[in-house]
Every structure is written in structure tokens, then in C-alpha cells.
Amino acid sequence: MSKSVIAIVGSATMDLTAYTDTVPEAGQTLLGRDFTTGFGGKGANQAVIAAHCGADVYFIGTLGRDSFGDAISVNFSAVGINTDYLERSDSPSGVAHIWVDGNGENRIIIVPGANHDIEIAKVVSAISDIPELAIVIAQCEIKQEVTIAAFVAAKARGCITILNPAPFEELSPQLLDVTDWLIPNETEFQSITHTNADDDSNLANFRPGKNSIVTLGSQGAVLIGSDRTLTRSSAPSVHVEDTTGAGDAFVGTFAYCLASGMPSIDALKFGIKVASLSVTRKGAQSSYPSQAEIKTLS
């Protein structure tokens, strides 16, 4: 695949993850099996996996002036992500508190912190400045007005825009209008449409005239074409250790493939391969395959 230039406007956090056989009920205290601290945030995760794929990645976001912010910035540089547009604020860096149960399923509480300090003017300037920019990705861990401004600037340059609507919030018509690819999981699809993703008619009627993908966990994903055609791709059977960051692995990989000129169906299938490998390991970014591993999947 050829080089691709991708900008991620989004969140970066420190993930504080507890592993336990069962999660506690209200008022209950349980012993956990393990605890890890790692790099996360949906925007950062998508940036890291796109960089592992071989993209030229620019991260546009805000960190706190604290030890977590310092560590995240160093990690970006180590991975090869451009941080020219990474700002600092007096708010604490964002954190995510994660519980992972014995089935590898997660429950997450995000405290955005500095991620909500991203300035619209600086984002628009960055989108306008980045040379040869092909794709702009955003999520819902930053303020929606920032994403709208970023996507409007991206569309003015002829870039493809990808929105991962997680964690779910109501999406404004203006944001949807400037979103080329909307990629929810099945729970987010249900929140958006108030229907289930297991019904083909519900999927086909999702955003007519626009492209979308609904990720389905262990069942793979379904691509919904702008002409309402559905293309399903299954996921390989794997032992699930931790699903944290798997959706981000898919989004970042799909974006890289699309920017590289790969047909969307092939990009869908490759994104599923990478995401499926990530769930066999603990953590978010720590679970992502290296560039060498990704090449073996091609």
C-alpha cells in the first residue's frame, strides 16, 4: 500500500484498567486479577493503529500539563505521529477507568479533562495547513462543535471525513451532513436509529445517499453503501482476552486502507483482520499489531 496522510481530531487519555472475573454490583467490593496503566483515548488509538499501518498521521488535540500528558506526547513521538498540532492546557489530561470481565468485555468511564479544551480556530488552521491531507477522523470524546468545524474545513479541501460516534451522543444534522463515513457499533446504531442492527431493512435505510459501516463485534461488520446495498464480512474466530480499543483498531485501519486507494470492501475486510488480532491481547494500544505483523496480514 502507498503512503496516506491522515489527521485525527480527537481524544487522548491514560487508560487505568482493572481485570476481574466479574464486575461488582452497587455496594460490592471484589478482588481483581490484574491492573494496567496504558495509553488510550479513541482518537489516540485510531492514530496509533493508522501509524502502525504505515500512514503519515497528524494528531490534533489537547493534553494537560501533567505527567500523563508528558507520557502521551512521548508515546506519540515514539510511534511516529506528528505532534505539531498537539496543544497543552491547564486542565488535567483525560483518563479512562476501565473494567474488563472474565469474558474480555469492558465497561468504561471517561473523564475528558483537557480533551474538552480543543480550540476550534486551531483545529481549522491545522486542517488547512497539513500537506496532502486525505482523510480526517473524529469521535465523540471531544466537543461536537469542534468536530463540525474540522469536517467543514476538511470538506473544503476535498478530504474524506470519518466519524466514529462513540461514546454515543445525539448527532446534529450539520455534523451528519459533512460526514462521509459514519462508523458506529451495533449499540450505537441502535441509539441513533432506535432500531436493531440485525434487521437488513433497518441497515439499508440508514443514511440513504451516504456510506456507513456498522461493526458487529465477533460477527464482523456490515458496509452500507450510499445506494443502500449491504456487504457483510465475518470476523475470524479468536480467543478474546480484551475488547478494549478493538473498534478504534478497525476505524484507524479502515481509514488508512481507504486513503491508500484500497476499495472500501477490501478495506472493511482488512480492518476486521486487524481488530480481531487486537482482541487476543490486553489493553488498547498495547494490543495493536506492529507494522511488521500488519504486513503479514496483507
Q: What amino acid positions are annotated as catalytic residues?
A: 248
Q: What are the start-end ranges of the E strands in 141-189?
A: 160-164, 181-182
Whole-number CA gyration radius for the chain: 18
First vs last Cα of the chain: how many Å apart? 9
Task: Give the span between the Cα atoms of 191 and 173, in whole angstroms.
Answer: 15
Task: Give the span between the Cα atoms of 89 and 91, in whole angstroms.
Answer: 5
Which residues are CB-contacts of 26 (< 8 A; sequence separation ≥ 6)? Answer: none
Smallest CA-to-CA distance from 157 within 124, 181, 183, 182 is with 124
